[in-house]
Structure 1
Amino acid sequence: MQFNRIIGHQALKQQLISTVKENRVSHAQLFLGPEGSGSLALAVAYAQYINCENKQEQDSCGTCPSCLKYEKLIHPDLHFSYPFFAKKAEETASTYMEEWRKAFLENPYLSLTHWRSQLEAENKQANINIAEAHDIIKKLSLKAFEAEYKVLIMWLPEYLDTQGNALLKLIEEPPAKTLFLLVAENQDKILNTIISRTQLVKVNKLNHEELSSYLIQEKNIDPTRAHEIAFIADGNIQEAIDQLAEDSNANFDMLIRWFRFIVTDSGLNIIQLCEEELSKLGRENQKIFLIYSINMLRQIVLAQNGLSAMLFLKGQELEFVQKFSEITQPEQLTVAIDLLEKTHYSVERNANPKILFLDLSLQLVLLFKYNTFPQGTQYI
């Protein structure tokens, strides 16, 4: 993976390259960025640049033996650790290395949900287990085969739990020429003892123009549609890719019917919609629908604040936003967005969709029909 294949982050790329040129490569670094920002791809490109045998001014050469092996993720001194769904206690990340290579090479912006889809996860929880921690210690105790640096890239150390304590001494005092590159999305879920031993590399989400340009140039998407998807994806490339595969008209039609039932307090129709349609979409489609709904409400907030120039919608979607902005208050929309985000979080964790969507719908009825705010909000 070369830097030039990664969307955006020009300043950060220069910063990473400078650390190598100036011999300031920290042995333990935490790449912290939201899902779909490209933080994992940046970590791999950084490792490739560090071990490139013919470094260029702005990138690795891409043609030396080290780069060629890095491009296929088969370099003997490049190691990966990541959450997996162990069937046996002794399994490690290496058990799923072929699936990992395939998933990353197809999509270096992958999310945990898409990684899960590559495996027979069933209802198991993602984890980096103690067997994996011991395997990391074993692998990194060996001498490098051919590169200057041994590199371990750990994706989503949030899933280490207390097993991470087994790695503390190794992270703090690694063997010579050994690098730890941790790639995380949620700092609050990482062990503080690990954070304190790493140097932070902040990866921001992509801006609207970067993401829309990617869709136009790389995916050959119509500019209008590209701007719509970029707004909905909100800097998340994985979400943008998911949106490309979705029928936005179907989501809009569902949203219109759902909100019509909500604002009229049509109980029987709400129950029917939740039980027969929303609950049967499948988890990924439910998440996409919720994100679509969240971003439509955000568009309404923009309309209410006179920021029409920032609206990337047309036709019926724009008409819906304009009409709904006239009959709702900003406080209602803020609470509704929070409720939708909490439901999205629960869907990710396999909660019962019938109960989730019915509960969400009833809370939205109280909010939009009767202007009653849920308990615990600051608007009561």
Structure 2
Amino acid sequence: MQLEKIIGHDALKQQLIATVQENRVSHAQLFLGPEGSGALPLAVAYAQYINCENRSASDSCGTCASCLKYEKLIHPDLHFSYPFFAKKSEETASTYMEDWRAAFLANPYMGLSYWRNQLEAENKQANINIAEAHSIIKKLSLKSFEAEYKVLVMWLPEYLDTQGNALLKLIEEPPEKTLFLLVAENQDKILNTIISRTQLVKVNKLPQEDIAEYLINEKRIDPSRANEIAFIADGNMQSAFEQLHEEDNTNFDLLIRWFRFIVTDSGLNIIQICEEEISKLGRENQKLFLVYSINVLRQIVLLNQGMPNLVFLKDAELEFVQKFSEISSLEKLEAAIEMLEKTHYSVERNANPKILFLDLSLQLVLLFKYNTFPQGTQYI
């Protein structure tokens, strides 16, 4: 994958290129960015640039033997490690390599849920097991076949757990011309002993305008629809791709009616909209609806705090945000956002949607209609 094909991150791309041109490539780097930010394709494109046989000042050539093999993820000196759902203790990432190639080439911005859906994971937990750690040590102890550098791209080292201790010596003192490129989403879940041995490469979430521009120019999406998708995605390209496969988004209309019933404490209407509409959206659409609602509330917060220049909603959505900001306090909005985030977490874990959204609605009624904050919050 060439750097030019990755959405956004122009400044970061230049920094990575400079490390190669100035001969200061660190042997162990941690690409840290939220899901869908592009940290994984950036790491792969960086490795391709490093091993390109005819690289330019701005990118890999894309046509040399090395680049052609990198594009298909079949270069003998490019290795991948990632969480998988082992059926047997002796399985390693290589067991699922064909699935991994297909998943990455179809969607390099994928998250763990997307990866899980490509496999028969059942109820198994994602893990990078000890057998995989030993396999990595064996692979990297061999000499390079073709390229100047052997490269290991490890996706989501958060799932390495204590097995990572087996790799500490190798990460700290790898064989000559060996690179570790770790790609993570949550620094707090990575072993500190690994973090201390890597150089941090911070990958920020994608700006809304970059996602919208990509959807308009590359996917030929109508600008208004592209902006709506980008708004809901909130910097997550994986989320944007998921929305492309859905029918036209009706989140705004649903949100307005839902909130109108909440602030007026219209009990029967609340029950009806939860049971007959929201609960029937399906798990992925429920998650998108909650993310959309959270983002709208954040826009209300910006207006509420006197920062209208940061609000990018238009027309009916902007009118709704303006009206709601006039009747809401910062404390209420923060509490509501926390409730929505907890509900999103529960939806991901297959909680009963009818009970879940009815409970959420009643909590929001208490908050916005009767000024009753949920137990345990620190807002009052």
Q: Deviations over 1:263-318 (max 9, x none)?
A: 23344543454445433433211211111111121222233345555444445433
> 1:241: which partner in 2?
241
Q: Are 1:81 and 1:93, in contact at CA under 8 Å, matched by a contact in 2?
A: yes
After superposition, the Cα gap between the structure-2 partners of 1:351 and 1:142, relative to the gap in structure 1 and judged at 3 Å, is farther
Secondary structure at 1:160's aligned position in 2? Answer: helix
Measured in 2, the distance between the counterparts of 1:362 and 1:267 equals 9
> 2:161: which partner in 1?
161
After superposition, the Cα gap between the structure-2 partners of 1:91 and 1:352, relative to the gap in structure 1 and judged at 3 Å, is farther
After superposition, the Cα gap between the structure-2 partners of 1:355 and 1:169, relative to the gap in structure 1 and judged at 3 Å, is farther
Q: Deviations over 1:195-224 (max 9, x none)?
A: 011110111122233222222211222333
Q: In the TM superposition, what is the alpha-carbon distance from 1:247 to its structure 2 partner?
A: 4.0
> 1:82: which partner in 2?
82
Secondary structure at 1:260's aligned position in 2? Answer: helix
Deviates more, 1:9-18 or 1:341-350: 341-350
Q: In the TM superposition, what is the alpha-carbon distance from 1:162 to its structure 2 partner?
A: 1.4
Determine whether 1:105 maps to 2:105. yes
Measured in 2, the distance between the counterparts of 1:352 and 1:82 equals 31
Instruction: Tell me the matched-pair count.
Output: 380
After superposition, the Cα gap between the structure-2 partners of 1:88 and 1:351, relative to the gap in structure 1 and judged at 3 Å, is farther
> 1:4: which partner in 2?
4
Q: Are 1:134 and 1:166, in contact at CA under 8 Å, matched by a contact in 2?
A: yes
Measured in 2, the distance between the counterparts of 1:352 and 1:107 equals 30
Q: What pairs with 1:259-338 in structure 2 (closer than 5 Å)?
A: 259-308=259-308, 310-338=310-338
Q: Which amino acid aligns with 1:264?
A: T
Q: Deviations over 1:157-181 (max 9, x none)?
A: 1111112112111111212211110
Q: What pairs with 1:351-366 in structure 2 (closer than 5 Å)?
A: 351-366=351-366
After superposition, the Cα gap between the structure-2 partners of 1:130 and 1:280, relative to the gap in structure 1 and judged at 3 Å, is farther
Q: In the TM superposition, what is the alpha-carbon distance from 1:227 to its structure 2 partner?
A: 2.8
Ranges in structure 1 where 5+ consecutive residues have no aligned partner: none
Secondary structure at 2:30's aligned position in 1? Answer: strand
> 2:151: which partner in 1?
151
Q: Which amino acid aligns with 1:196?
A: S
After superposition, the Cα gap between the structure-2 partners of 1:282 and 1:227, relative to the gap in structure 1 and judged at 3 Å, is closer
> 2:92: which partner in 1?
92
Measured in 2, the distance between the counterparts of 1:264 and 1:84 equals 48
Secondary structure at 1:125's aligned position in 2? Answer: coil
> 1:126: which partner in 2?
126
> 1:369: which partner in 2?
369
> 2:198: which partner in 1?
198
Measured in 2, the distance between the counterparts of 1:164 and 1:295 equals 36
Q: Which amino acid aligns with 2:210?
A: E
After superposition, the Cα gap between the structure-2 partners of 1:247 and 1:300, relative to the gap in structure 1 and judged at 3 Å, is farther
Q: Are 2:232 and 2:288, in contact at CA under 8 Å, matched by a contact in 1?
A: no
Q: Are 1:3 and 1:42, in contact at CA under 8 Å, matched by a contact in 2?
A: yes
Measured in 1, the distance between the counterparts of 2:274 and 2:85 equals 30
Identity percentage of aligned residues: 82
Measured in 1, the distance between the counterparts of 2:27 and 2:349 equals 34
Q: Which amino acid aligns with 1:140?
A: L
After superposition, the Cα gap between the structure-2 partners of 1:121 and 1:281, relative to the gap in structure 1 and judged at 3 Å, is farther
Measured in 2, the distance between the counterparts of 1:314 and 1:51 equals 46
Q: Normalized against structure 2, the TM-score is what? A: 0.93
Ranges in structure 2 where 5+ consecutive residues have no aligned partner: none
Deviates more, 1:86-95 or 1:62-71: 86-95
Measured in 2, the distance between the counterparts of 1:125 and 1:331 equals 37
> 2:63: which partner in 1?
63
Secondary structure at 2:147's aligned position in 1? Answer: coil
Q: Normalized against structure 1, the TM-score is what? A: 0.93
Secondary structure at 1:164's aligned position in 2? Answer: helix
Secondary structure at 1:75's aligned position in 2? Answer: coil
Q: In the TM superposition, what is the alpha-carbon distance from 1:147 to its structure 2 partner?
A: 1.1
Q: In the TM superposition, what is the alpha-carbon distance from 1:191 to its structure 2 partner?
A: 0.8
Q: Deviations over 1:122-177 (max 9, x none)?
A: 22222112222122112112221111111110111111111211211111121221
Superposed CA RMSD: 2.0
Measured in 1, the distance between the counterparts of 2:14 and 2:179 equals 19
Q: Are 1:161 and 1:191, in contact at CA under 8 Å, matched by a contact in 2?
A: yes
Q: In the TM superposition, what is the alpha-carbon distance from 1:234 to its structure 2 partner?
A: 2.1
Q: Are 1:228 and 1:312, in contact at CA under 8 Å, matched by a contact in 2?
A: no
Q: Are 1:205 and 1:236, in contact at CA under 8 Å, matched by a contact in 2?
A: yes
